[in-house]
Amino acid sequence: MRLIRESGGMIRSSQAIRAGIHSRTLCQLREEGLLELVSRGIHRLVDQAPISNPDLVTVAMRVPKAVVCLISALAFHELTTQVPHVVYIALKKGAEPPRLEYPPISVHRFSSASLNAGIEEHLLDGVKVKIYSPEKTLADVFKFRHKIGMDVVIEAMKLYKTRKKIKLGELLKCAEICRIEKVMHPYLEAMM
C-alpha cells in the first residue's frame, strides 16, 4: 500500500511486479475493496480523490509514448466547445498500435520532428500526461482540418485570441514544423 501511495495512488501491474508485489496480492487488495481496476493493468487506491481526467490519465499510463493532440488537446486548453468522444493521440510513424479497450482512442501518426515539437507535461491526478501546447495544437488542427472540420479550426483560433496570450513566434514555428505556413498565414493575419 505504501508503494502505491508513493506512486500517486495509482500503479501499473508491471510496476508492481517489478517492485516485488505479486499479481495475486493486487487481486487480493481488489477483493478487499482497497484497490480498484481503472483499466486493464492499472490499479488505483479506492480512498483517493476522484480522478479529474480519467481518460487522459488512463491513456498516459497505458500508452506512455503517446502525446494528447487535436480535439483532446483543444479541450484541455479550453480552445473548443467540442466534447471529444475519443482521446486523440499522436504516435511516431511506424509505432506499434496501442491495444486499449477503454477509453476509445483516435491514433494519428506524426513525423519525428512534428511528434517531438511543442510537448508540455502536465501533472494530472499524480500522473505526467504529455499534451501539445496550444500553439502546436493549432498547427495540428490546421493540418488535419479536412478530418476535424474547418469550423473547429476557426473556433479554436477565435478562442486562442481571446483566452490566451498570443505567441506569434511559436505559432509560426509550429506551422513551419507541420508544413502548413501558407495555409495558416491568412488566418494569422486576420487574427492580428
pLDDT for 8 beyond 80: no
Q: What percent of the chain has pLDDT over 70?
A: 99
Q: What is the pLDDT of residue 179?
A: 92
| pLDDT bracket for residue 156 (50, 70, 90) | very high
Higher confidence at residue 1 or residue 161? 161
- Number of structural domains, the chain? 2
> Both 89 and 123 in a single domain?
yes
> Both 36 and 87 in a single domain?
no
Q: How many CB atoms lie within 10 A of CB 159?
A: 17
> Both 156 and 183 in a single domain?
yes
> Both 94 and 34 in a single domain?
no
Q: What is the pLDDT of residue 81?
A: 92
User: What pLDDT, in 10s, does the model give residues 95-111?
Assistant: 888 888 788 899 999 99
> Both 38 and 82 in a single domain?
no
This prediction has a pTM of 0.78
User: What range does the domain containing 119 cover?
Assistant: 54-191
Q: Which residues of 111-133 are buried (b: 16+ CB within 10 A; e: fewer)?
A: eeebbebbebeeebbebebbbbb
> Both 35 and 127 in a single domain?
no
What single letter denotes the amino acid at residue 88? Y
> Both 29 and 123 in a single domain?
no
pLDDT for 80 beyond 90: yes
> Both 110 and 79 in a single domain?
yes
> Both 73 and 32 in a single domain?
no
Average pLDDT over residues 121-146: 92
> Both 124 and 64 in a single domain?
yes
pLDDT for 192 beyond 70: no
